[in-house]
Every structure is written in C-alpha cells, then in structure tokens.
C-alpha cells in the first residue's frame, strides 16, 4: 500500500525559500515588533560582557535590542536571511544542530518565534542546555498551540504563502520536555502585545513579506488579520495588530 503521508518541511527547507522575504520585511519595518522582542528580554537580566546566544537567529534582529556591552552570538542555518537569493546548499548555510559553541560557554540563550518550524525540539533543548553556564537562563518564546495565532498561521498564511504552513507550536508538553532535558522552568505564560504600524497598508505589506503571503492581495491580508486576529485603531491613525506568544523561562542547575 502506498504511503501517502506528507513530510513536513524542515526549518532550513522553509527559509531557504522564504528567508529573503522575511528579512526584507524586518529591514523595512524595523520597529514593528519592538514589543515582541522586549517581552522576551524582560525575562533575563543582561549585563555588559555577557555572551547571548540567539537560536535560530534569522537575520540577527535580536542584536538591535540587547543592552550595550552584551555580546550577541547568533546561529542561523539559512543564509537567505542575510544573503538574499542564496540557495539551500550555499556554503554560508550551516546546520542548526549541533550548536556551534563549547560546553558551558554562554551566559544566556534566547529563541524567538523560530522553533515552531522544528518538529522534534528535544535535541535542540539538550544542545542549549549543553552550551549554557550553570545558573544561566534560556528563554523560548513562540506561538502557542490552539491559539488564534496558530490558526492564522496554519490557516490563512498556509493557504496563501509559497510553502504552506504546518506549525509545531508550544504547549504544556514543551514545558515537560525542557524539564526532562535538565532545565528548571521558572515561568511559562502567554504574553499579548501589538505589532505597530502607521496604517493598515503598512501592516499588510509587513505581514505579506514576513509570512511570504504571495498569493493574496493587500486587502485580503488586511481582511484576514482583522477577522482572525483583530486590529487596534489609535487616535493618531496608527494601528496595532494583535499578536501573542507563549514565553517559557528556564534556568540551568
């Protein structure tokens, strides 16, 4: 009997195709996701001289938010984020695992909105635990399973982008996986905020690029966001697109 199971594309496969569009959106609207990065950094006390791992790092956007004197060390398997048009086999690309640091080298590891593209995360958790110093923090923040944001990504975005979307989102089992890998879980909660834009047209332009929504018009993108997520209208005419992530804060023994 023929196996009709559809294989889920890996993180590297997806962003070999979509990384350039994602990066262009982030470069064009560098402050749209300020609140998202700041809620991640609120979970750690970073000081000058600390080595901060960023995994997967995308185009290195986290470095824009680190306190002065911190050393940003990003690891990203897809060169397309910074080398637009790069192929999946580009020599600048590196595998996600193993992580490129020695045992106990880093003071902190942060991971924002990338691991929902990784089906089995346990090897990554183990690698993060390996490269962290004792009493160091690991914070992972990503879309929660069953949330409106998960449904938006697997629904509208998956229907209208170039690769489809089938997320492996964070849930209660993620917390148990982290504990099994040797972490003490300090906190796990949902953080809600807004992505900020001058108007709806910018919102559609950003979301269209970030998610590679190449099969929908700007008006269709606006309608989907308003319907599925909600939009805040501000007195000055600017808008806030509703968004939220599950943020899990861990510490090594």
pLDDT tens digits, 94-139: 789 999 999 999 999 999 999 999 999 999 999 999 999 999 999 9
Give pLDDT, residue 13: 81
Give per-residue burial for 170-204: e unless 16+ CB within 10 Å, then b. Answer: bbeebbebbeebebeeeebeebebbbbbeebebbb
Nearest by Cα to 213 from 165, 144, 169: 165
pLDDT of residue 88 exceeding 60, the answer is no
**Distance of alpha carbon 18 from alpha carbon 212, whole angstroms:** 6
Count other C-beta atoms under 10 Å from residue 64's C-beta. Answer: 12
Residues with Cβ within 8 Å of 226's Cβ and at least 6 positions away in sequence, in order, are none
Residues in the chain: 253
Task: Specify the 3-state DSSP secondary structure of 5.
Answer: coil
Give pLDDT, residue 35: 98
Do 168 and 117 contact (CB within 8 A), yes or no?
yes
Stretch 178-195: mean pLDDT, rounded?
98
pLDDT of residue 31 exceeding 60, the answer is yes
List the Cα angle 163/147/220 in 5-degree steps. 50
Least confident piece of the model among 8-17, 29-38, 133-142, 185-194: 8-17
In the chain, domain spans: 11-144+163-192+245-252
Give pLDDT, residue 18: 85
Do 16 and 94 contact (CB within 8 A), yes or no?
no
**What does the DSSP 8-state code read for residue 61?**
G
Q: Which CATH number fits domain 11-144+163-192+245-252: 3.40.50.1000, 3.40.50.700, 3.40.50.150, 3.30.70.3270?
A: 3.40.50.150
Work out the mean pLDDT of the chain and round it to a whole number: 92
Give pLDDT, residue 8: 60
Task: Specify the 3-state DSSP secondary structure of 19.
Answer: helix
Residue 84 pLDDT grade (very low, low, confident, very high; cuts 50, 70, 90) = low
Locate 231 and state its tokens. 């939009």
Stretch 68-95: mean pLDDT, rounded?
75
**Distance of alpha carbon 34 from alpha carbon 204, whole angstroms:** 17
């Amino acid at each position: 009997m023929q196996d009709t199971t559809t294989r889920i594309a890996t993180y590297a496969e997806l962003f070999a195709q979509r990384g350039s569009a994602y990066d262009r959106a982030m470069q064009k609207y560098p402050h749209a996701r300020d609140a998202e990065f700041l809620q991640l950094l609120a979970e750690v006390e970073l000081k000058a001289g600390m080595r901060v791992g960023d995994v997967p790092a995308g185009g290195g956007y986290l470095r824009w938010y680190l306190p002065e004197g911190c050393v940003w060390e990003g690891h990203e398997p897809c060169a397309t984020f910074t080398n637009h048009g790069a192929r999946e086999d580009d020599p600048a690309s590196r595998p996600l695992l193993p992580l490129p640091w020695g045992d106990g080298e880093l003071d902190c590891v942060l991971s924002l909105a990338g691991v929902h593209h990784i089906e089995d995360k346990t090897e990554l958790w183990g690698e993060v635990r390996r490269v962290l110093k004792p009493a160091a923090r690991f914070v992972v923040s990503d879309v929660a399973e069953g949330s409106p944001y998960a449904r938006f990504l697997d629904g509208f975005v998956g229907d209208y982008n170039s690769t489809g979307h089938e997320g492996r989102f964070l849930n209660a089992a993620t917390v148990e996986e982290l504990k099994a890998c040797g972490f003490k879980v300090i906190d796990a909660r949902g953080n809600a905020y807004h992505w900020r834009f001058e108007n709806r047209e910018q919102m559609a332009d950003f979301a269209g690029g970030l998610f590679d929504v190449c099969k929908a018009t700007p008006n269709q993108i606006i309608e989907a966001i308003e319907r599925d997520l909600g939009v805040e209208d501000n007195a000055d005419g600017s808008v806030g697109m509703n968004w939220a992530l599950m943020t899990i804060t861990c510490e090594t023994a």
